[in-house]
Each structure stands twice: as C-alpha cells, then as structure tokens.
Structure 1
C-alpha cells in the first residue's frame, strides 16, 4: 500500500469511526421509531424582493391576528428568517432588528432549531449580533444565557410557539395559542422533546400476569422494577418496559372502591412517580404532551389540554392553572424483580404484550444516555455536589412549608436506617440490601435495626413489620408510609434549585 493510499485508508477509518460513535450515542433515541424527524418548516417568504413594508402584515395561522403596540415586532418577521433567499433573509433581519428586545432571543433559538443547515449558520450570526454575545453556534450556551435574563417575552410568544409547533403536530397549538392563559413556568423553558403528542405511547390498563406465569419468564431476578401495592393489590412495572412508554394508567383495588392511578416515568430525569388521578371527585385523564420543562416531561389532560408538571402533579400552563388542583403522590419503590416477588409472592407483573413493537431487553432503551453523565436537553443550572445522574430520594411530604429535600441514595445504601425531620413530619428511611428505599413516619421513635426478614426494631424493643403501606406491630400500632421517589440529581435540582441535599 503506497503512502497516499495509506493516508486515504486512515482518513476513511477515522470518518467511519466517528460515524459509528455518533450513531451509537444517538441510536438509543432515534431508533425508537416514534421520534419525529424535525421538519424544515414550510414558510413562504413574506416580503417580496426589494419591497419590505414598514409594518409587515401579521398572519397568524392559529388565531386572529393580535393587536400590536407601535414598533412591536411582528411574529411573521421571525418566521420570514426561514426564507431561502439571502436578500430576503437580510430584509427580515432588519425588521427583527428594529423591534428587537433581549427577551425575544428564545424565538430565534426555537426557529433556528428547524432551519436548514445553511440557515443555522445565518441564524447563528444574527443571534450573536442581536444578543451582543458570542455563542458561536452553541445553542446550549445561548439557552442558558437567555434563561439567566429577566423573563420579558414577546407579548404574543404563546402564539409564536403555537404556530411553530403546529407544523410538527397540529394538536400542539392548543397548549400555547391563547396568550391570555395562565402559566406558572416560563414558556421559553418549555422545550419540544422530539415526539408528537403521545408519541411515546402510554400503557392503559396493561396486561398483567402472576409471577409464576409463562409470560413473566422474560424477567431476570436482577431486572429493575417499580413496585406498587394499593388496597392489598401488589404489582410490578419493569423499567425495561416503561423506559419505552414513560406512563401507565391503571386501576387498583376492588370495583366498589377503585384507585385510578397514573405512573409517570421520566426517563431523562430518572424519576418514577405514581399519582392518584382523582382530585375532588374529578378524574384527570393524562397523557404525554411531547414537551419538556427543565428536562422533565410535561403531561397534558384530555379535557382542557392544560400542561402538567410531572414532578409536582400540578397544572402549569392552561385553563386549570390557579384552581388549586394537585395530584396526590402515592408510594412506589424502585427495587429488583427477585426481591419484589419474594416479598410479594402474589404479585402480578407487566407482560411484553403491550400492543407495541419494541426491544424490551433490560437496559436497551436510552442505553447511551444512561451510560454517560451528559444531558440530552440543557437546563438552566446544575449542581456539582453530585454528578448529574447520581440518584437521590426525593421526599414528598412535610407540609407546604417544608423545603424541597433530596437524600443521596449512596449514603442510604450504607445507612439501612436513616432518620430525620421534614417540616412537621418525623420520618425514617429503611433501605434493604437491593438498595430499595421506603420512607415511613417515625412517630418520634428511634429505629435501630432493619433486618432481612422485613422487620425493624425501635430502641424501646418493639418489633415493627415492614409492609408497603405501613410499619405495624403485633398489637396493632401503625406508622404510615410516606410518599417518596428516586430521581436523577440534575432533574430534581433543576426543578428545585432551593432543594436541601442530605448526604
């Protein structure tokens, strides 16, 4: 092989290696088959060559054109940046420049995400010029800078998002098109997650079988499951399935007293939360909105199309905001299949018969994401007390005045019995050899031992049986289970930057 051929071979090998590396990183995400490929937004240039009007007419596709204050930036000027004509692009830039405010940067960043490759280079220069920064095409840096500014969005920013994202899924428009609707979070932090509404399909009343059934044989004892027991009904939901669906809707207990629940698994932030979906007699049918807030999935309800926070169980955008609605979190434990079925021999478990075709192998979904500490979507800030994807136990009790509190699960693994006080509640965390954490009221008692036979002993010599609902004694005393769930540190901290971390 001569030297030039050798160099060509080496160069080709390097390129091939890079392609494989990129494919390996992103493959877990795009290979799902239901992710929407971001389209090139079809926008007809709004300005004819050489004749850009002083006040371009606004054309809103999802609502009547709103009234604009004098000198206010027309939304169509932002969309006109999508023109493939360089002269038209420069004309649109001048209109944007005339009406520019720093709070409008998110509109440029969102538009740029769906630009053709050469448009992104143009947009990068415009973004740097108008913001007075030097992001050099690094959208994560640009987003963090935008979020660090006072929130002063375009007066019709909601309509902008409605128009932009309805090109991906017409149903998206309903989340944003009413500029007068209430919101408790910044709209510029609501990011599209790469899927259509319910594009990550929830499981509704999924098929369950007993632990010894043939259809449960796909599980190995070390597979991670999310265990729930309500009204004496124990069920296991394997992580390997929920990583593909991120939500299940199920009903527990007897027909005359059922509990309707939503189990929400946010794969990106590592949280599995179970909510009672009935509030004051109203059942809220929830789904996957397709959007994220600080890398946490946002849900939506079918009745009003309000968007809900996964972490708080509250509406954050739309008609239901401010009505005092808050889903009640229920207890759930992250454990292994072998440990769960030993504790609950009568448990049922999800089968692979979900009605969807996925590779449900253990650890297959999001393998590359879980393998590094990198984030798929940037967040305003992180905290280096723990690595981004270190797991914490989020405590969901203590009253409205209790500060957000997270406990390092590595510390809990070395401390099978851990006690503390949160707000007006004294608690004890019991961690078994599998690493599963359960939190109970302590009632002011001092717990000294947690044994392998599912009993805990207090300093006064009493022996407490550890169940999913409560700690109980032979003479009928009880200490109730408290709501808590695991999450990645970055996901919890980004939503609760004032959180108290116990290490």
Structure 2
C-alpha cells in the first residue's frame, strides 16, 4: 500500500527543529534552554556553585516512588468499532492511518477506537510515540494528545501520568512488543524531523535492542558535529587552558594527546589518530562516559563514526559511516542495521576494542607528558568553549535528562564510577572511594588487578544559570598485578610493592625498578545510572574497609 502523507511538511519541520531542540531537550542539542528532566529524579535548581552530591551525602537517596496516578477525568466514549483481534496487516494500516495527513480526524479517531475496542496492547509503543509527537507538536495536525493518552490507558490498564518519561519507564519494565512494521513506522514518523532518521529506522534492518526505547535526542544527524582529525597544538602554543582544567588523555606508541572537556562537551565525538592508531573518542555527556575505541574493527574493517541524534537509555547512539548501522556508544556494539549479528574474524559477535583513556588535569597530564599535543580551541565551529557552558547545569544536578527504567539505588544516579570489563564480567568502582583509598588491590574475573587513583577532579564553570561546581570524575588507571600487592608510593605517579620497591605508573604499564612491566587494563568513567543501565549484572566495589 502507498505510504501515508506525513502530518507536517518537511520544510516546516526543518524550520521548527531548532526550536524543538531548544524547548524540548538541552541534552543532545547543547542549547540554552533546559529540556524536561526525568520526573523520576529529585531535581533541585543548580543556581549557585555547589559541591557534588556524592561528596556531601553518606547514604544514597531512597528508591524513586511510583508516579502518582493521573487526575480523574470523565471516561472517554469511543466510536463504535470491531473488537475482533487485529492482524499484522491491519495493524500496519492502522499505524499508517494515524500519521496520514489526508486521513482526517474521523479516520484517526476510528483507527484509535479500533485499537481500544480490540484491547491490542501491542499498540502501547505506537501510542507512546503519538502522545509525545502531539504534545511536542512534531505532529502539527492530529487528535488531541489526551486522546492518545486515554487510549494508552485503555489498552494497558496502567494509570500513569501523561508525561512520556513515565510511560517509557513503565514500558521498559514490561515485556510488551509492538506490531510488526513498528521500526519502519517509527522511522517514517521521525523522518518528519530528519529524512536520515527514516534510513536508520527501517524494517529491513535487524535490531539488537528494543526500538521502542530509542528516543530522539533533539538534534539532526551530526548536528552535534564530531571533530574530524582536528588540529593539535604544542603546549607552548596553548593559552586557553588553566592548569586545573580537566582533559581526556590518550597516549599510544609514544604519542600523547590531550582533549579538554570544555571542548569535547560540545562535540561528543572526536575521530582522531594517535600513535598511528585510528580512534573514536566517543563521549556521551548524558551518561558521563568518554570511551576510546580502536576504529580498526575486529572484523578487519576500519570504521569512522558520527552522531545519529538518537538516544537509548539516555546514552547516545553513534553510527558508522561505512554502513550507517547504529552502534551503542557504551558497549561498542552494533545495535540496529546491517552489522547486527555480524561476527569478527575470530567468530565472536562484533564489538569494538577499548583503548586506555584517562581523565586528568592539564597540569598533571603535561607534567607526565611534556611532549603532548593539545586540541586546538579553534575547531572551525562557533561554540562558547568555556568550562560549564555546554552541560554545566546538567552535570551539577542529580537528575537524568531522559528516562532510564533500568536503575539501581546502590549509588546516586550520577555518581561517577570507574568501570572494568573482562570477558562477560563487569565491575564498577565508585570514584570517591577510589580517590580515598588511592591504591586498590582487587581480584576481578579471577585476575589480580590494581587500580591507582591520583585524584578526584571537579570542574568550576559558568552555565546558563550561573556558577556551578560539579564532579568530572577522577584520574584512575587499572593494571595487572600478578601476585604482588601495591601501596601508595612516595610521589605522585608511583606505587610500592610489599618489598618497598618503587614502581612507576605509565600509560602502558606499571614499570618496576628492574624494568618489569605489568600491563594496563582499559576501563572508563561513567555515571552509575549509565553503567547499570547496560550492565545490571555488574559487581560493585564497596571499599576495602
């Protein structure tokens, strides 16, 4: 059957997308207006500089309460319609009718009534999308959003607020599945905003995640522009950084690079080369995770990544420019597109390899790597590159900005952890605990390891609401330790073993007095909610005492 006419002309959609990005979401848009926060949090305005909640409190907050039921209204009377089960072909026709500009109000309402009378809860995902699309005026014509809301309540029996964030969390906890064809239908709906969204969300593509949980982040494809092999400066030419400013440091094959957070906050992705190795420094500001991926895929293909504009559990979905497959930034796995299910050269599911990256202050990184180069602030983009300008308000408050249903109250949502992965095992180490203990000897996945933490790092900046102070993570490195145990050394960048022998902390290894080397283990920082949303089976380090 011919596809429906969409309810908004594309030209008009292009005109309003910037407004929607400002009004609806700050998160991926990096705009000056606040997005609606996740109502499941406990937000308080961050109008003054304030310490991290993880530094002030001693116990995590209580679990998020169940959302209050919606206010009682007169029950809606639906038009007469068949209550017979809805087949897959009819389901697709009904979905398309609901976004067909030529169908008209009567047809939209009859389609909705058919779903309600049939009690087909497969349409829950469809109605959640329509509830959002009408509420935000993505669909400028159509039924009142409360009609979709009433239909949603009728087919699910759930008494939940009209706020889509609550419904996303409710849906995530369910085992519901949408009708066949939902992926392509959602792509057609979102192609109102950007035609490329329809290319990503196609029924031709396999998916490793629930497409129902993919959300628009408020921007077009690559409108948060990745830095493509940006210019680097020698330290003597850097005049914009303060000594205590946070940078991401990468050192490979004797070459060191520093990438200041004040710049990466605005771009969230840097396609770079360090020591001859092509790398994607993928930075999800929403979940606090900067991850360095080796672009030389284990399938023998070298990839280059961009920003899709989509989110999944408040984590950015990147895409490779080779096949336009969507990838999970957090796990390094393809999740929607032709690469889903592909194997690497060893017959394992395709997954990018992690490379070591560390958060440090500029002065400390420079002291360790005097020959480092530093990202040029003249990126070619007009951005307000001062600390806190992009996300300072978000970083300084406890909420997530987008709904995440898979949560744990063991730590604060946005408490920083340092995460390690080995085989199928996962473990998270709270950064504040690591900073207090400095050297942690542990056994993870049956392997003795040691984590060395130089410092916790906070950022003071100016956000759109004023001065803010927020944690940026900590300078943490993990290494193998064999049968040794290590303790804090006499100087920064050193540890000692049980014999008193001094070892040097480098980017590649712990180096002993006789040149013995214990290899680095790749890990990365993340907000607790981001880590747990993808690794709910994780171990959590509770401290040595």
Which TM bucket (shorter chain)?
A: 0.7 to 0.9
What does the per-residue CA deviation read over 1:378-413, in whole Å, with 9 as the maximum and x for residues that have no partner?
0113211111111000113x3x232x2100111001
Runs of 5+ consecutive residues of structure 2 not aligned to the other structure: 1-21, 36-78, 138-142, 343-348, 457-473
For 1:265, which of 255, 278, 283 is the aligned residue?
283
Name 2:178's counterpart in structure 1: 153
What does the per-residue CA deviation read over 1:164-198, in whole Å, with 9 as the maximum and x for residues that have no partner?
1111111111222134x322211111111111111
- 112-121 or 128-137, larger mean C-alpha shift: 112-121
For 1:174, which of 195, 199, 203 is the aligned residue?
199
For 1:299, which of 285, 305, 318 is the aligned residue?
318
Q: Is the 8 A contact 1:78 1:96 kept in 2?
A: no
Distance 2:211 2:241 in 1: 41
Name 2:109's counterpart in structure 1: 90
Runs of 5+ consecutive residues of structure 1 not aligned to the other structure: 1-22, 37-50, 55-66
Q: Is the 8 A contact 1:151 1:186 kept in 2?
A: no
Q: Is the 8 A contact 1:34 1:200 kept in 2?
A: no
Distance 1:406 1:416 in 2: 16
1:488 aligns with 2:488: no
Bigger-Rg structure (1/2): 1
For 2:424, which of 398, 401, 404 is the aligned residue?
401
Question: TM-score, normalization: structure 1?
Answer: 0.82
Distance change (3 Å), C-alpha of 1:441 and 1:303: same
What does the per-residue CA deviation read over 1:227-282, in whole Å, with 9 as the maximum and x for residues that have no partner?
110111111101111110000011122xxxx2000001100000010000112431
Distance 2:101 2:446 in 1: 55
Question: TM-score, normalization: structure 2?
Answer: 0.76
For 1:366, which of 370, 391, 396 is the aligned residue?
391
Distance change (3 Å), C-alpha of 1:206 and 1:319: same
Name 1:443's counterpart in structure 2: 482
What does the per-residue CA deviation read over 1:401-437, in whole Å, with 9 as the maximum and x for residues that have no partner?
32x2100111001111101111142110001135411
Structure 1 segment 354-433 matched on structure 2, within 5 A: 354-396=379-421, 398=422, 400-402=423-425, 404-433=426-455
Q: Is the 8 A contact 2:307 2:318 kept in 1?
A: yes
Name 1:6's counterpart in structure 2: none
Structure 1 segment 155-234 matched on structure 2, within 5 A: 155-179=180-204, 181-213=205-237, 216-234=238-256
Q: Is the 8 A contact 1:275 1:327 kept in 2?
A: yes
What does the per-residue CA deviation read over 1:126-157, in whole Å, with 9 as the maximum and x for residues that have no partner?
22222222223122221122122214221111
Q: Is the 8 A contact 1:392 1:407 kept in 2?
A: yes
Q: Is the 8 A contact 1:82 1:89 kept in 2?
A: no
Name 1:4's counterpart in structure 2: none
Distance change (3 Å), C-alpha of 1:104 and 1:450: farther
1:102 aligns with 2:117: no
Distance change (3 Å), C-alpha of 1:410 and 1:25: farther
Q: Is the 8 A contact 1:128 1:136 kept in 2?
A: no
The count of aligned residue pairs is 445
What does the per-residue CA deviation read over 1:274-300, in whole Å, with 9 as the maximum and x for residues that have no partner?
000112431011111111111111111
Distance 1:177 1:72 in 2: 14
- 265-274 or 122-131, larger mean C-alpha shift: 122-131
1:308 aligns with 2:327: yes
What does the per-residue CA deviation read over 1:195-214, in whole Å, with 9 as the maximum and x for residues that have no partner?
1111110001111101121x
Distance change (3 Å), C-alpha of 1:267 and 1:138: same
**How far 1:72 moved relative to its partner?**
6.7
1:75 aligns with 2:95: yes
Distance 1:282 1:238 in 2: 29
- 25-34 or 422-431, larger mean C-alpha shift: 25-34
Indicate the structure whose relative CO is greater, using CA pairs within 8 Å and at least 6 residues apart. 2
